[in-house]
Amino acid sequence: MTKQIIHTTTVKLSQDNLQISAYLAQPQAPGSYPGVVVLQEIFGVNAHIREVTERIAQSGYIAIAPALFQRQAPDFETGYTPEAVEIGKEYAWQQTQATELLSDIQSAIDYLKTLPQVKPDSFGCIGFCFGGHVAYLAATLPDIKATASFYGAGITTRTPGGGAPTINLTPDIKGTIYTFFGMEDASIPASQIDQINAELEKYTIPHRVFRYDGADHGFFCNHRASYNPKATADAWEQVKQLFKSVLGA
């Protein structure tokens, strides 16, 4: 498939008297395109997340990456130092709330619905790290038909801001979900991956669980030392298959 020539910009989403920044990428060619919400790591809507957003748009989708830390730290983005990890973890797990995250994601979807070139009723999401966890939450939104969740830690043990673990929401997932894990990822034990798979099977949620031997947390990010080209290449093909089969393009 030929890559689409794309246009990128930053837009503002109105939500609870708050203006949320979001990075938008869309094909320049006229047409009707499905929408995809891209959910950041703990490092903000940084270069990696913008690149993923652009890559999705080049594949024939209109992609938007809302700033999930807008309430805590407007325009926050950082690299991958130990100090940055600690700051990002504080924002992600102590200062966000699951209900606010879902509301912000819905605002991104509602914004996409205002664009004339966006296909109605054809929305998906993809998330990485903290965003992989949030993608599991977002899969419960009625508009989301396809979800790609990459190495979302804590799905079986917690939820942003506190409360019952996010896995308890599995029966509320509305569409198809693919999950991706590195088997060298110390933050997500194999037992937790098994638990996620078991819950998805229990509630007959259309899903696939991908496990990559030799891959660590963050394997999809080519800005990180844990980048694994082989696992990334396979995972990207699986994402494209998911979005094409469920959302069309």
Contact yes or no for 57/4 (Cβ under 8 A) = yes
Cα–Cα distance between 61 and 247 in angstroms, integer?
Answer: 9
Beta strand residue intervals within 4-59, DSSP E: 6-15, 18-27, 33-39
Check 48, 104, 125, 129 and give the catalytic one.
129
CB atoms within 10 A of CB 214: 11
Helix, strand or coil, per DSSP, at residue 124: strand
Check 104, 207, 217, 221 and give the catalytic one.
217
Catalytic residue status for 223: no
Burial 85-117 (b: 16+ CB within 10 A, else e): eebbeebbbeebebebbbebbbbbbebbeeeee
DSSP strand pairing (62-66 vs 33-39): parallel
- Strand pairing partners for 126? 38, 148
Cα–Cα distance between 129 and 226 in angstroms, integer?
Answer: 13
Check 104, 185, 216, 221 and give the catalytic one.
185
Catalytic residue status for 185: yes
Catalytic residue status for 217: yes
Q: What is the set of active-site residues?
A: 129, 185, 217
